[in-house]
């Protein structure tokens, strides 16, 4: 018999996985001289590197061996206690026992998929939706249904009609400064969505990685605050500390909390203790309160520079979102334009973005859309990139 | 309609999960004054805390923002390059591209389960087996078959007969200083197992967290070196650096490597960059070569103290393994003794261990067995604990 392994070694679920195509596209983007508006990556100058010399010392002084040892599946206790205060400042009132720590919010989404999705279950998504969530859930073989949206996020009547007509395991939403559109679900809509999910006994997964990155306008309470018994609240320190530390967390109704804990215990025992200790010190040492305004001051002019450049350069039949925060602007070209074609022409001119079709479930949707990131490049570079992109667009007309 | 979520929100797979019972038992163990021979936890004094002040500075100086940024799914390139040398010293010859980094070896096991197990697939285990692996795999709803063992590990003829009589997705083995028994698969057996899996086109998962912790005797080559095309080699820095950093890794045949990568991308994007940068410096800065002999010098007398105490105190009808390394000794009481009953009596006397039955698939197996850890407590404490345990045993006779 043959010694080599055949395809039948793989599980059936493996065949339903697909590579995260944004990350595949990012491989081209790493070419020298490329201006990337593609990733969802913080600017390296947003990281508190100088502070980390002191934070590291404080962690070793304060926690010693405990920062290096096996720890609780639910997360390092001092970190969960620090997050209580951090969440309180967002009007989310919880105790440390209600918080579960994961390896970035991506691993919350994966574990939710594991705990909640039986193959064939329907999941409701806003359109377009965060690609990483689709990658995480798809490994558990769900089907997807789309909820209609407009500039204020999902349409409550579309959600209600969907929940009335079929069994939906959960609704997945990025409620504030959404990836990929930059849209924020309005406060009125949040109340309506909360009322609907409570009335129907439905579950929402509220993914909230960006709400701290608000450059203008007034904060909106999280959907979780309106329907805590029907919401899993998911967030991360990736955008306000450092993504390389992989620090995500969630709040979940007790039944789901219990099984997320059990699933995580089997999947990785617990998250990185040392990274959690660094984050504890980052929050409790007051570093975050000094760093977050710096990050906002870094990104606000970049958002403004991109909005300004789009208004000056793009043809009149192009539209785009005008977010108050986050990392992305969503551009819609007129019907008939293929943004992937523009992408390859732009890459030749050393400008990269993400064609918007990757954020749709149906392969024929979103062809004329683009996601532009404004946090990685400085204002002059953004002006240069949008001018170059506009020349390509006009050349193709 | 009700606003509360019902049990039907959970997936079918969730119902097949069970809590890791060792970790549940450890909750009692944290009582003040308890001597724990229960966990598989390194001694805190084995951690290079003083070195970490310098290692942290070196990481920030050398890698800066790159140590805090999003990174490759397969792992931080300098860490994978450092592991090439580390593995070479074990006669495992690989390139950095063949290594995949995970959140501890536990998450390698979880991801292997995800990629390989379709519900109902059979997995072959040595008896008894590592409980954490069973927890990881069980979330993907396999069935289990047992391979017979003796003091040198699994019996090749039992493995061959099992593979001849049924489809087995993979065989899971801890080949060196096994958890829970401390047994090592002999070199002769490794050659025989390699021949069998190659001949039958079967897959072995070789879990190797302990082989660096050798206190006496001669190193044995990994099973991977005899059958690299049929073996997934899994290891970790938890026992030679710090478990709280959650640094596991694997080598896998190309087809499995590719899908582990894809599954990890969807599950958590990548592992902690900062922890990988610390480990890079720990290996490349020569710290590991100074620290590992210290760890071995710390644990060797503890192993000897426990073997000596068992020989002096336990009744003549008790047997135990005599490992050359690792963290555990396995004790077998005469048939009819219930080690869980001994456990509760021992806990009253402030001594804890793990009843061995938890390491068996069949609930009626292993009742008179116990796993004793010798790395956490010092020699005098070990002598005291074994003497106390022996008094309890003799009192129950």
Q: Give backbone dihedrals phi and psi of A35, rounded to 5 degrees, phi first.
A: -95, 115
Alpha-carbon gap, residue B338 to B333, rounded angstroms? 8
Q: Which positions ≥6 away from B289 have C-beta within 8 Å?
A: none
Cα–Cα distance between A33 and A349 in angstroms, integer?
10
Q: CA A178, CA A152: separation in Å to the nearest integer?
A: 11
User: Confidence class of residue B4 from pLDDT cuts 50, 70 and 90?
Assistant: low
Buried b (16+ CB within 10 A) or exposed e, B5-30: beeebbbebbeebeebebbebbeebe
d(CA B139, CA A114): 8
Residues B108 and B23: their CA atoms lie apart, in Å, by: 19
Distance from CA of B112 to the nearest CA of A (A): 10
* Nearest chain B residue (CA) to A51: B60
Distance between CA atoms of B85 and B73, rounded to whole angstroms? 21
pLDDT given at position A151? 92
Reply yes or no: is the peptide bond before residue B128 cis, omega within 30 of 0.
Answer: yes
Helix (H), strand (E) at residue A376? none
Q: How far is A397 from chain B (nearest CA, A)?
A: 37
Radius of gyration of chain B (CA): 21
Rounded to whole angstroms, how far apart are CA atoms B237 and B243?
7
Q: Which residue of B has its CA nearest to A58?
A: B53
- Put simply, the answer to whether B265 touches A14 (Cβ < 8 Å) is no
- Rounded distance, CA A287 to CA A20, Å? 34
Nearest residue to A225 via CA among A83, A90, A102:
A90
Structure tokens at A173: 């939403």
Nearest-CA distance B10 → chain A (Å): 5
Task: Please say whether the beta carbons of A46 and A302 come within 8 A.
Answer: no
Q: Between residues B358 and A327, which one has the greater pLDDT? A: A327
- A with B: how many residue pairs have Cβ under 8 Å apart? 274
Q: Do B274 and A269 touch (CB under 8 A)?
A: no
Contact A60 B53 (CB under 8 A): yes
The percent of chain A in helix, strand and coil, each rounded to the nearest 5, is 50, 15, 35
Position B1 scores a pLDDT of 43
A76-85, B16-25, B76-85, B268-277: which range is least confident on average?
B16-25
B384: pLDDT strictly greater than 80: yes
A142 CA to chain B: closest CA distance, Å? 11
Can you list the alpha helix ranges (DSSP code H) found in chain A?
21-29, 49-63, 77-88, 104-116, 131-138, 156-165, 187-200, 223-226, 254-268, 273-284, 287-313, 339-348, 379-396
Tens of pLDDT, residues A77-128 = 999 999 999 999 999 999 999 999 999 999 999 999 999 999 999 999 999 9
Task: Say whether pLDDT at B3 is over 70.
Answer: no
> Is residue A3's pLDDT more than 70?
no
Q: Flag whether pLDDT at B141 surpasses 60.
A: yes
Q: Are A352 and A29 within 8 A, CB to CB?
A: yes
Over residues B374-390, the mean pLDDT reads 97
Q: What's the pTM value of the predicted model, to 2 decimals?
A: 0.96
β-bridge pairing B149-150 and B143-147: unpaired
Interatomic CA distance for residues A114 and A219, integer angstroms? 32
Residues linked to residue A234 through DSSP beta bridges, in sequence order: A207, A250
Q: Which residue of A has its CA nearest to B277?
A: A244
* Tens-digit pLDDT profile for residues B302-311: 999 999 999 9
Lookup: tokens for A263: 């699933």
| Minimal C-alpha gap between A121 and chain B (Å) | 9
According to the 3-state scheme, what is the secondary structure of chain B? CCCCCCHHHCCCHHHHCCCCHHHHHHHHHCCCCCEECCCCCCCHHHCCHHHHHHHHHHHHHHHHHHHCCCCCCCCCHHHHHHHHHHHHCCCCCCCHHHEEEEEHHHHHHHHHHHHHCCCCCEEEEECCCCHHHHHHHHCCCCEEEEECEECCEECHHHHHHHHHHCCCCEEEEECCCCCCCCCCCCHHHHHHHHHHHHHHCCCEEEECCCCCCECCCCCCCCHHHHCHHHEEEEEECCCCCCHHHCEEEEECCHHHHHHHHHHHHHHHCCCCHHHHHHHHHHHHCCHHHHHHHHHHHHHHHHHHHHHHHHHHHCCCCCEECCCCECCEEEEECCCCCCHHHHHHHHHHCCEECEEHHHHCCCCCCCCCEEEEECCCCCHHHHHHHHHHHHHHHHHHC
Tokens of A261: 């804990």
- Interchain contact, B53 vs A52, CB within 8 Å: no
SS3 of residue A325 by DSSP: strand
Distance from CA of B132 to the nearest CA of A (A): 7
Give the Cα separation of B392 and A371 in Å (integer).
Answer: 69
Beta bridge partners of A320: A331
Q: How confident is the model at residue A26 (pLDDT cuts 50, 70, 90)?
A: low
Task: Give me the torsion for CA of B357, B361, B365, B366, rounded to 10°.
Answer: -30
- What's the maximum distance between 2 C-alpha atoms anywhere in chain B? 68
Mean pLDDT of chain B: 94
Identity of the residue in A5, A70, A246 whose CB atom sits nearest the CB atom of B203: A5
Task: Check residue B6 and give left, alpha or beta (phi > 0: left; psi -120 to 50: alpha).
Answer: beta
- Tokens, residue B213: 């912790």
Task: Give the side-chain half-sphere CA count within 13 A for A213.
Answer: 33
pLDDT digits (tens, 9 = 90+) for B157-197: 999 999 999 999 999 999 999 999 999 999 999 999 999 99
The answer to whether residue B250 scores a pLDDT higher than 50 is: yes
Counting residues of chain A whose pLDDT is more than 90, the rounded percentage is: 88
Nearest residue of A to residue B229 by CA position? A4
CA pseudo-torsion sign B155, B157, B162, B163: positive
Residue B317, CB half-sphere, CA atoms under 13 Å: how many?
A: 9
Contact B231, A55 (CB under 8 A): no
**Which single residue is written with the structure tokens 């919010």?**
A105
Contacts of A270 in chain B (CB under 8 A): 246
Q: Please tell me whether residue A331 adopts helix, strand or coil conformation.
A: strand
User: ipTM for the complex?
Assistant: 0.95
Which residues from A are below 8 Å from B75, CB to CB?
none
Indicate whether B283 pLDDT > 90.
yes
Alpha-carbon distances, residue A380 vs A41, A329, A372, A384, A386 (angstroms): 18, 17, 15, 6, 10
| Confidence label for B396 from pLDDT (cuts 50, 70 and 90) | confident
Model pLDDT, residue A362: 87
The DSSP annotation for A9-23 comes to: GS-TGGGG----HHH
Chain A: closest CA distance from residue B341 (Å): 26
pLDDT tens digits along A255-283: 999 999 999 999 999 999 999 999 999 99
pLDDT at B14: 87
pLDDT of residue A4: 67
pLDDT in tens, B38-66: 988 999 999 999 999 999 999 999 999 99
Is the distance from CB of A352 to CB of A28 less than 8 angstroms?
yes
* Chain Cα centroid distance, residue A372: 15
- Say if residues B202 and B160 touch (Cβ distance below 8 Å): no
Name the residue among B11, B17, B259 with its Cβ closest to that of A262. Answer: B17
Looking at residues A284-306, what average pLDDT do you find?
98
Q: What pLDDT, on the 0 to 100 scale, is given for residue A263? A: 95
pLDDT of B21 over the 80 cut = no
**pLDDT, tens only, A146-198:** 999 999 999 999 999 999 999 999 999 999 999 999 999 999 999 999 999 99
Q: Do A19 and B265 touch (CB under 8 A)?
A: yes
User: Of B273, B251, B300, which Cα lies nearest the Cα of B84?
Assistant: B251
Is A64 strand, coil or helix?
helix
A264 neighbors A73 (Cβ within 8 angstroms): yes
Write the pLDDT tens digit of every residue in A338-384: 999 999 999 999 999 999 999 998 888 999 999 999 999 999 999 99
Hey, are the CB atoms on B14 and A135 less than 8 Å from each other?
Answer: no
The rounded mean pLDDT for chain A is 94
Q: What residues have CB less than 8 Å from A97, skipping those under 6 apart?
A: A74, A80
Rounded CA-CA distance A220/A173 in Å is 15
A218 burial type by CB count under 10 A (0-12 exposed, 13-18 middle, 19+ buried): exposed
Q: Which residues contact B14 (CB under 8 A, 6 or more apart)?
A: A114, A115, A116, A259, A263
The chain B residue lying nearest A7, using CA atoms, is B255
Write out chain B residues lying below 8 Å of A112, CB-based.
Answer: none
Q: Which residues pair with A146 in a beta bridge?
A: A125
> What is the pLDDT confidence band of residue B276, given thresholds at 50, 70 and 90?
very high
What's the confidence (pLDDT) of residue A31? Answer: 83
- The answer to whether the CB of A67 falls within 8 A of the CB of A59 is yes
Residues A72, A270 contacting (CB under 8 angstroms): yes
CA-nearest residue of chain A to B266? A136
B244–A268 CB contact, under 8 Å: no
Point out which residues pair with B170 in neighbouring strands: B123
Region B353-374: what's the mean pLDDT?
94
**What is the arithmetic mean of pLDDT over B67-77?**
96
Per CB-CB distance under 8 Å, the chain A contacts of B106 are 266-269
- Mean pLDDT of the B217-226 span: 97
* DSSP element (H, E) containing A39: none
pLDDT value of residue A9: 86
Is residue A1 pLDDT above 50, yes or no?
no
């Amino acid at each position: 018999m043959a010694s080599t392994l055949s395809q039948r070694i793989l599980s059936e679920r493996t065949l339903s996985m697909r590579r995260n195509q944004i990350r595949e596209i990012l491989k081209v983007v790493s070419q020298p001289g490329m201006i990337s508006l593609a990733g969802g990556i913080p600017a390296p100058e947003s990281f508190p590197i100088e502070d980390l010399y002191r934070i590291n010392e404080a962690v070793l002084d304060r926690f010693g061996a405990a920062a290096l040892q096996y720890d609780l599946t639910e997360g390092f206790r001092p970190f969960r206690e620090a997050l209580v205060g951090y969440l309180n400042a967002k009007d989310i009132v919880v105790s440390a026992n209600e918080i579960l720590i994961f390896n970035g919010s991506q691993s919350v989404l994966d574990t939710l998929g594991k705990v909640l999705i039986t193959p064939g279950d329907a999941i409701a998504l806003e359109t377009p939706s965060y690609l990483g969530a689709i990658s995480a859930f798809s490994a558990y073989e769900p089907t997807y249904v789309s909820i209609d949206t407009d500039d204020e996020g999902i349409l409550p009547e579309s959600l209600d009609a969907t929940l009335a007509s079929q069994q939906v395991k959960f609704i997945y939403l990025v409620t504030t400064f959404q990836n990929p559109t930059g849209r924020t679900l309005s406060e009125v809509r949040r109340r309506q969505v909360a009322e609907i999910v409570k009335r129907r006994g439905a579950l929402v997964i509220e993914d909230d990685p960006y709400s701290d990155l608000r450059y203008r306008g007034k904060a909106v309470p999280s959907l979780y605050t309106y329907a805590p018994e029907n919401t899993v609240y998911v967030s991360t320190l990736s955008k306000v500390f450092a993504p390389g530390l992989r620090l995500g967390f969630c709040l979940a109704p007790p039944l789901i909390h219990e099984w997320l804990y059990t699933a995580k215990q089997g999947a990785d025992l617990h998250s990185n203790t040392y990274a959690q200790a660094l984050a504890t010190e980052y929050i409790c040492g007051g570093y975050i309160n000094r760093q977050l305004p710096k990050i906002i001051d870094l990104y606000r002019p970049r958002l403004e520079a991109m909005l300004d450049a789009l208004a000056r350069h793009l043809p009149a039949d192009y539209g785009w979102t005008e977010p108050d925060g986050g990392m992305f602007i969503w551009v819609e070209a007129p019907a008939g334009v293929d943004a992937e074609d523009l992408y390859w022409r732009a890459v030749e001119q050393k400008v990269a973005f993400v064609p918007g079709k990757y954020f749709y479930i149906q392969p024929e949707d979103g062809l004329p859309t683009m996601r532009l990131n404004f946090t990685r490049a400085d204002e002059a570079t953004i002006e240069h990139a949008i001018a170059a992109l506009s020349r390509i667009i006009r050349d193709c007309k």
